[in-house]
Amino acid sequence: MIAFKGLKASLNLMKGAIMDAKNLFYKAVYTMNLHLLFIGNKFIYNKPLREYILREIEKKSDFISALTYFKESDNSLFLYLEKEINTSDKIIIVTTKQMFATIGKLICTITSDNQILNDTMLMPSNCTVYEKGSYLLEYKDALINVLHVDEMQKMPEILLQNQDSCASLHMFEEEREDAIALLSPLAQTNDVKIDIVTLISGWLRIDILSNKYGNISNFISSAKTLLPLKLITTSNILAHIIESLSSHHKKISFAESCSGGLLSYYFTKNNGASQILDGSLITYSNELKENWLAVEHGSIEEFGAVSSEVVAQMSDGALNVSSADYALSISGIAGDTGGTLMKPVGTVHISVRTKTAHQEIELALCGDRNYIQEQSVLFAIKMLLLTDKKIFF
The DSSP string of 341-354 is SSS-TTEEEEEEEE
Residue 33's nearest CA partner among 71, 54, 6, 62 is: 62
Beta strands in 248-356, from DSSP E residues, in sequence order: 252-256, 277-282, 326-332, 347-354
- Reduced to 3 states (helix: H, G, I; strand: E, B; else coil), residue 65 is strand
Q: What are phi and psi of 128, to 5 degrees?
A: -90, -35
Residue 21: per-residue pLDDT: 40
Q: Which residues of the chain have pLDDT under 70?
A: 1-32, 62, 162-164
How much is the pLDDT for 119?
Answer: 84
CA separation for the pair 142, 91 (Å, rounded): 7
CA distances from 159 to 91, 120, 131, 317 (A): 11, 19, 8, 49
Q: How far is 50 from 69, CA to CA, in rounded Å?
A: 11
Integer-rounded Cα radius of gyration of the chain: 27
Close Cβ partners of 122 (under 8 Å, ≥ 6 residues apart): 100, 101, 104, 115, 116
Q: Tell whether pTM > 0.95.
A: no
Predicted pLDDT at 20: 45
- CA of residue 293 relative to chain centroid, distance: 34
Res 139: pLDDT:
95
Q: Which domains does the chain have, with CATH numbers?
A: 29-148 (3.40.980.10), 169-235 (3.30.70), 238-392 (3.90.950.20)
